[in-house]
A and B are shown apart, each in its own frame.
Chain A
Amino acid sequence: MRKFGSVLALHVRPRAEPSRRMRVAAPLIASALTLIFGLIFFAALGRDPVASLYAFFVKPLSSANGVSEWLLKGSSLTLIGLGLAIGFRANVWNIGAEGQFIIGAIAAAAVALFAPEMPSYVMLPLMFAAGLVGGMAWASIPALLRHRFATNEILVSLMLTYVASAILSWLVHGPWRDPEGFNYPQTAIFPPSAMLPAVVEGYRVNVSIFITLAAVIAAWIFDERTFLGYKMRVGGDAPSAARYAGFGEGQSIWVGMLIGGAAAGVAGMAEAAGPLGQLSPQISPGYGFAAIIVAFVGRLNPVGIVIAGLLLSLLYLGGENAQIALAMPSAVTRIFQGVLLFFLLGADFLIFYELKWMGRPP
């Protein structure tokens, strides 16, 4: 090992082993730095920074309705993040969860709109299955192209997101537009049998949070206990070792992409059958992209992803509240998301390197 570099008397050097403590601390450091950034940011905009932060991070959770919204959004983000993390751990980079989310929502909506007579106990499982298969089908395109032709799944999955958006837009402007909808680009409202029941009457948070809870447990078991999960981790942590052991790359690609697609598709179904009850061009407020941040802030670990999902959900709510209370643009949410990821990636440096004060420079 050699001295890595030095700035004044502060030396940066590689750690003998990656720090486990830092692996946990890095998201906390990143969150703290994001808050500090927020103070400076609001002050620079001429707002009272403390009041702004209060409006952003505390106010949204100060009512029962706020908590309901927080859990609802957090549930979607967590579900998608869990699915993506399984691929990410195996170096399978599905960046197109947004598109898989939209296709999942479309597939579920198709069931609701074209077979509205079914009773709820048939309708909802069918919609669930449709969302799952729809998301998987969309994710299978980059998987197939990567496996057969070695195309880059990052680009393909990302570009397919825009294709999915265009399909959704065409459907709600064209064939699926509600004939009684005053020409608004949206479908008819789903029948009540196609709506997920609320957990508490009067609030929007619905039973999809139980799907997410089950997914957390399933993801943990998959990662920590199954042989397939182990093989995928080997593929991510040491690709040469996976080749050495004969763990096929194709399997990792397919499993990683399909699980990510399935999770995003189900989240899309839950969004359509939950708070919205119809399709419109703005079905997703960017959940598929925010979930990438969720997966990384959560350290690709199922429990961490739950915490990160709730954190990102709070950022969404804070952004909405800031729009109303502080008259700030909605872009504030995305700024905070980006800054959080930026600080996290920066703080990750400390997992592998340590800073050491060496006294005065020679």
Chain B
Amino acid sequence: MRPRLELRGIGKRYPGVIANEDISLSVLPGVIHAILGENGAGKSTLMKIIYGAVAADAGEILWNGELVTRHSPAYSRTIGIEMVYQHFSLFESVSVVENIALTIPGRFDLASLAKRVRETSDRYGLPIDPFKSVHRLSVGERQRVEIVRCLLQNPRLLILDEPTSVLTPKAVTTLFETLRLLAAEGCSILYISHKLAEVKELCGSATVLKNGRITGSIDPRRASTVEIARLMVGAAPPETQRTPCTPGRAAAFEVRNLSVPADGPFGVSLKDISFALAAGEILGIAGISGNGQTELVQLLSGEKRAPEADMIRIAGAPAGKLGAAARRDLGFAFVPEERLGRGAVPPHNLGENGLLTAHRKGLVIRSFVSRQRMREFAASIIDRFSVKTAGPAAMAQSLSGGNLQKFIVGREIGLKPRILLVSQPTWGVDVGASAYVRQTLVDLSRGGAAVIVISEDLDELMEISDRIAVMSGGMMSEAIPIDEARKERIGELMIAHTAAAA
């Protein structure tokens, strides 16, 4: 059979980085083909090249055996290539069908388009109400809108970039059924992921990328997990070593009946959140993003103040009305999910970025910055956490996501906190650095700190937490001890309070 898509020797360079080099692969009609690789392996760049959003520096693209000469997203759509991006591009304030109408060529006829949307969504088991406003949809539903939008064009090749990162386990199952049906009808699918289990379950062939190059072309159903992992990272990462948890008796950090109304129409209001944790334990907070985590993190960190001082207690002292700096003075430290611009100042060097929160550790002498101590502090973090960088004089923005995260985690741990809050510790961080960050968090808690980890990655939370609570619709469940935590139960809790259970 003639391949639907064939790539020959595709290459793409950016200043200082090789995104893709000598990539050749072919995808047959009706096949679900996985592109596997770590963050930064070059998967997204390759997909954008196939879709025409980025021009390759070298190589050829063949579509049904014919050379594609002038490529662009518009051309892709005319020949039947559709792409669902990892980050959706929907207008929140208008309805589903209006969003879809914007990208469909031809006459603007909402009534007939709504009918087609209904037909397509029913046929593929992706129920959506065409007249609902997008801002009222859950993340899973938004993804359905994006997929239905593509399906309306009768694609011959559908590209999905990390589609399950925002879905509950149950929604993943539904998505897979849809994709299998689509493939059975002859549509080829390129499925980008770094989750091995999913790829083994869904895909019939796979190309593994590492540092922009192909390290293997495999049948994921036959290859072993260890084998694939080795192709992805070079060596299998160590598993987190978790010693038994021996929590202290008094609560190191406590939240009591925290209720805060939503900030604007697209915010989430927090409803009666209570939890406590002691020194020496890790509390994991699971949940699909957009269920109040962003709001909660700002309130816990002091970037926003709580309505009552008593709603948040640090080591027994009311802290709800304290600002971020005052909470840090009480031994609180925090790693935010956005590294550039929040956890670090992009155009400042690592020395200055250490100063950002470590100034209270003797780096400032009588209102003057001690530049020597500043450099020494940064150098010690770089050394202790193996941050790959030229040194304390390197700009924060010159570091890769994983290395900057190591620096920020290192800086916050370097403050010797009594309480550490970490949001999305391994977002966009490669497997090796992720394993290191997780182990560091466990070690910190076992050394006597109270650690709160908020993450979308349930596997990660299961690996390091002592108890897991789940956020849904601005509410938080009871924390479940890890021995009793079951993935299915947590999945149910994730959607317990969402208006539209995905």
Contact = CB atoms under 8 A, between A and B. Distances in A.
Interface stretch (B114-122, B202-210, B336-344): B336-344
Contacts of B48: 2
A3 B54 contact: yes
Interface residues of B, number: 42
A259 to B, nearest CB: 15
A202 interface: no
Interface in B369-409: 369, 371, 395, 397-398
Interface string B254-273: 00000000000000000000
A14 to B, nearest CB: 9
A245 B325 contact: yes
B70 interface: yes
B364 A237 contact: no
B53 interface: yes
Interface of B: 14-17, 48, 53-55, 70, 301-303, 323-328, 334, 336, 338, 341-348, 352, 355-357, 359, 364, 367-369, 371, 395, 397-398
Contacts of A225: 368-369, 371
A245 B348 CA distance: 15
Chain B CB within 10 A, most for which of A1, A2, A227: A227
B328 A238 contact: no
A21 to B, nearest CB: 14
A63 interface: no
B395 A246 contact: no
B323 A246 contact: yes
A225 B365 CA distance: 11
A241 B54 contact: no
B53 A17 contact: no
A310 B352 CA distance: 32
A16 B22 CA distance: 23
Contacts of A230: 352, 355, 369
Contact of A226 (B345, B346, B368, B397): B368
Given A227-B368, A241-B341, A243-B342, 13 more contacts: A16-B15, A16-B398, A226-B367, A230-B355, A238-B344, A240-B341, A244-B334, A245-B357, A246-B302, A246-B324, A246-B326, A246-B328, A362-B70
Interface in A304-332: none
Contacts, number: 79
B73 to A, nearest CB: 11
B359 A227 contact: yes
Given A240-B342, A241-B356, A228 B367 contact: yes
Chain B CB within 10 A, most for which of A3, A18, A244, A247: A244
B338 A240 contact: yes
Interface of A: 1-3, 15-18, 225-228, 230, 233-234, 237-238, 240-241, 243-248, 362
B356 A245 contact: yes
Nearest to B343: A244
Contact of A227 (B334, B346, B347, B364): B364
B348 A237 contact: yes
9 contacts: A230-B352, A234-B345, A234-B356, A237-B345, A238-B345, A241-B345, A244-B356, A245-B357, A246-B325
B334 A247 contact: no
A227 B364 CA distance: 7
B54 A227 contact: no
A2 B334 CA distance: 32
Contact of B303 (A237, A238, A244): A244
A245 B54 CA distance: 37
A17 B398 CA distance: 7
A244 to B, nearest CB: 5
A59 to B, nearest CB: 41
A237 B347 contact: yes
Given A246-B302, A246-B323, A248-B323, A241 B14 contact: no
B16 A16 contact: yes
B385 to A, nearest CB: 20
A77 B302 CA distance: 41
A125 to B, nearest CB: 26
Q: Which 5 A-B pairs have the closest CB atoms?
A: A246-B325, A246-B324, A16-B15, A240-B342, A238-B345
A358 to B, nearest CB: 10
Contacts of B355: 230
A288 B364 CA distance: 35
Nearest to A235: B345
Nearest to A233: B348
Nearest to A15: B15
A234 B345 CA distance: 7
A237 B371 CA distance: 20
Contact of B301 (A226, A233, A244): A244
A17 B302 CA distance: 32
A226 B356 contact: no
A17 B397 contact: yes
A227 B367 contact: yes
Given A16-B15, A18-B347, A244 B342 contact: yes
B368 A245 contact: no
Contact of A244 (B336, B347, B371): B336
Nearest to A236: B345
A105 to B, nearest CB: 32
A98 B265 CA distance: 41
Contact of B54 (A2, A15, A246): A2
